[in-house]
Amino acid sequence: MTKKSGKREKTIMDSAGIDLALARIAAEIIEKLGPSDEFAIIGIRRRGVHLASRLAAKLEAILKRPILRGILDITLYRDDLTTIGDRPMLRETSIDFDINNRSLVLVDDVLYTGRTARSALDGLVDLGRPRRVQLAVLVDRGRRELPIRADYVGKHVQTEDDEFVEVRLMEEDGEERVIVTRR
Amino acid sequence: MASLSHKDLLGIAQLSAGDMQLILDTAAAFKQVADRPIKKVPTLRGKTIINLFFEPSTRTRSSFELAEKRLSADVLNFSASTSSVAKGETLVDTARNLEAMAPDIIVIRHGSSGAPQLLSQVCRSSIVNAGDGMHEHPTQALLDALTVRETKGRIEGLKIAIIGDIAHSRVARSDTMLFHKMGADVWICAPATLVPCDFDRLGARVTGHIEEALAGADVVMMLRVQHERQAEAFVPSTREYYNLYGLTRERVRLAKKDAIVMHPGPMNRGVEIDSDVADAPNSVILSQVTNGVATRMAVLYLLSGNAGLKPGRPSR
């Protein structure tokens, strides 16, 4: 593991691990919000969208009713637009239901500095006034730079700043696992 | 990470098909901002944009201003009639003075072709051409492309007929270059006095007969007869122009059944276009206006990190 040759890579979750984590998060959401809460699941582009749709499918199977789903692109709300030269690719936000007074569960792949979650909250506030917003992530890797925490976490890992946590999903990457790499 | 590598947007001539694709994709994503209760995003907070308009304009100017405000930029409007230009200041001196106020982007409309090019050489700020003389009007062409792509699902392979006062129209030049670069079959139609000699070089087929231009067209783009630019008479009378080149309901039938009718505005009803054609369901003239704001938001967003880059080579 401490081999110096090339890129060090460690798998911390496999396909079954990811699925199990999502199943547990789904159960926790119902437990926390109550089965009658008409909450919506909002995926943060890009990988949060796939995780959100899997989560919604699990929730639908348990609750036997359709779950509202939305997609949030946080590009316009990033706090680093003035410091980076290249403009990040803007994609569409698609939330075609009223979020006012509704419970929302934001879904992202990795929680790290907390800046994405902050941008997402700003983005949501411009769309209305939700009743409550919760955050679900597959991996919490610590090292927060803002006072933000997740309500549902698939897996906690201790990481260093020079490490990357990559969630690789079938829909985007053609494989299914979570890896930690070092530069 | 996708980005526009230009400091300025001076014309369609400088853009590759990939650049245009990026602007259109970004504009499509910006459209949803207008459908929200809060029609504003904080993206350009703290950026200063100067709108420098040396020619009268309602549509383009308000469209840019709205785009800037929806991106949360600070906006300074500056029109020639109320400025030192009226006291004899040169364009470059005006620009240098504005530049000293450290804007990030300057949007300019000017009666002389090449004015934005000149500014781009002396200014650190990004320059956006909002129409220069008879040269280019790139954001208009881009919003036209967005409208076509939205209604037709594609641009490649479409027959696009641009009919009207081509000679005085910067929109015609920009549109022709854009649609040609994106793989459309572009036809230009006007009386011989209103067609510049180089249009076939931009990739358009030129005809004097409106029937030929309209036959099987997917998109019909009508242009205004620009009375204010016609010191000498290029057409004998507006009546004759209407009879030979006006878009009537009968003539629209020559185009494809699902053809759309476009006009960059302002329209002269009863000269180049009939009222019932302009107001028909297949007219997308008002969608063009809606798309204008999103397109300009996209351009400003994509250029906003690029001030200080080296200016590009002069375009033709």
Instruction: Dump pLDDT digits (tens) for A91-102.
Output: 989 999 999 999
Q: Do B43 and A86 touch (CB under 8 A)?
A: no
Strands B48-53 and B74-79: parallel
Q: Which residue has the tokens 């201003």?
A: B65
**If pLDDT is split at 50, 70 and 90, which confidence band does B230 have?**
low
Q: Contacts of residue B43 in chain A, CB cutoff 8 Å? A: 75-77, 81
Which of A90, A122, A128 is nearest residue B301 as measured by Cβ atoms? A90
Q: How far is A93 from chain B (nearest CA, A)?
A: 7
Q: Do A127 and B304 touch (CB under 8 A)?
A: no
| Nearest one of B264, B284, B293 to B151, comparing CA atoms | B284
What percentage of residues in chain B have a pLDDT greater than 70? 94
pLDDT, chain A, mean: 93
**If pLDDT is split at 50, 70 and 90, which confidence band does A170 have?**
very high
Q: Contacts of residue A85 in chain B, CB cutoff 8 Å? A: 3, 305-306
Q: Contacts of residue A73 in chain B, CB cutoff 8 Å? A: 29
Q: Is B59 a catalytic residue?
A: yes
Residue B58: predicted pLDDT? 86
Which of A89, A92, A126 is nearest residue B36 as measured by Cβ atoms? A126
Indicate which residue of B6, B7, B61, B137 is catalytic.
B137
Q: What is the largest CA-CA distance in chain A?
A: 54
The complex's ipTM works out to 0.82
Residue B313: predicted pLDDT? 55
Token output for A109: 């792949």
Q: Out of A2-11, B112-121, B153-162, which region has the weakest mean confidence (pLDDT)?
A: A2-11
Which of A77, A84, A127 is nearest residue B305 as measured by Cβ atoms? A84
The count of other CB atoms within 10 Å of the CB of residue A123 is 23
Q: Is B229 a catalytic residue?
A: no
Residue B228: predicted pLDDT? 66
Residue B315: predicted pLDDT? 47
Q: Is B137 a catalytic residue?
A: yes
- Angle subtended by helix axes B59-70 and B138-152, to nearest 10: 80
Q: Taking CB atoms and an 8 Å cut-off, how many pairs form between chains A and B?
A: 61
Q: Do B29 and A84 touch (CB under 8 A)?
A: no
B26 interfacial to chain A (CB closer than 8 Å)? yes
Q: Are B129 and B136 contacting, i.e. CB atoms less than 8 angstroms apart?
A: yes
Q: Which residue has the tokens 């691990």?
A: A17
Does residue A84 have a pLDDT over 50? yes
Q: Is B109 a catalytic residue?
A: yes
Q: Out of A114-128, B61-75, B82-96, B149-163, which region has the weakest mean confidence (pLDDT)?
A: B82-96
Does residue B231 have a pLDDT over 80? no
Q: Which residue has the tokens 């070092």?
A: A182
Alpha carbon distance A3, A5 (integer Å): 6
Token output for B199: 């249009």
Note the pTM of the prediction, 2 decimals.
0.90
Q: Are B161 and B202 contacting, i.e. CB atoms less than 8 angstroms apart?
A: no
Q: Which run of H or E residues covers position B274?
A: none
| Nearest one of A165, A148, A96, A152 to A127, comparing CA atoms | A96
B2 interfacial to chain A (CB closer than 8 Å)? yes
Averaged over B238-267, what is the pLDDT?
94
Alpha carbon distance B109, B171 (integer Å): 13
Alpha carbon distance B140, B179 (integer Å): 12
Strands B219-222 and B260-262: parallel
Alpha carbon distance B168, B181 (integer Å): 22
Q: Do A85 and B306 touch (CB under 8 A)?
A: yes
**If pLDDT is split at 50, 70 and 90, which confidence band does A85 have?**
low
| CA-based end-to-end distance of chain A | 14
Residue A145: predicted pLDDT? 96
**If pLDDT is split at 50, 70 and 90, which confidence band does B1 have?**
very low
Interface test with chain A among B22, B41, B44, B297, by most A beta carbons within 10 Å = B41
Q: How far is B4 from chain A (nearest CA, A)?
A: 8
| Nearest one of A122, A30, A129, A120 to A71, comparing CA atoms | A120
B304 interfacial to chain A (CB closer than 8 Å)? yes
- b vs e for B177-214, b when ≥16 Cβ sit within 10 Å of the residue's Cβ? bbbbbbebbbbbbbbeebbbeebeebebebbeebeebb
Q: What is the DSSP letter of A120?
A: H
Residue B316: predicted pLDDT? 44
Alpha-carbon dihedral angle through residues B143, B149, B154, B158, given to the nearest 10 degrees: -60
Q: Which run of H or E residues covers position A16?
A: helix A15-33
**If pLDDT is split at 50, 70 and 90, which confidence band does A160 have?**
very high
Q: Which residue has the tokens 């650049």?
A: B19
Q: Which of residues 121-160 of A touch B (CB under 8 A)?
A: 122, 126-128
Residue B58 backbone phi and psi in degrees, to 5: -105, -55
Strands (E), chain A: 8-13, 40-44, 68-72, 103-111, 132-140, 152-156, 163-168, 177-182
At A15-42, the pLDDT tens digits run 999 999 999 999 999 999 999 999 999 9
Q: Do A77 and B41 touch (CB under 8 A)?
A: yes
Alpha carbon separation from A84 to A81, A166, B108, B125 (Å, rounded): 6, 22, 26, 17
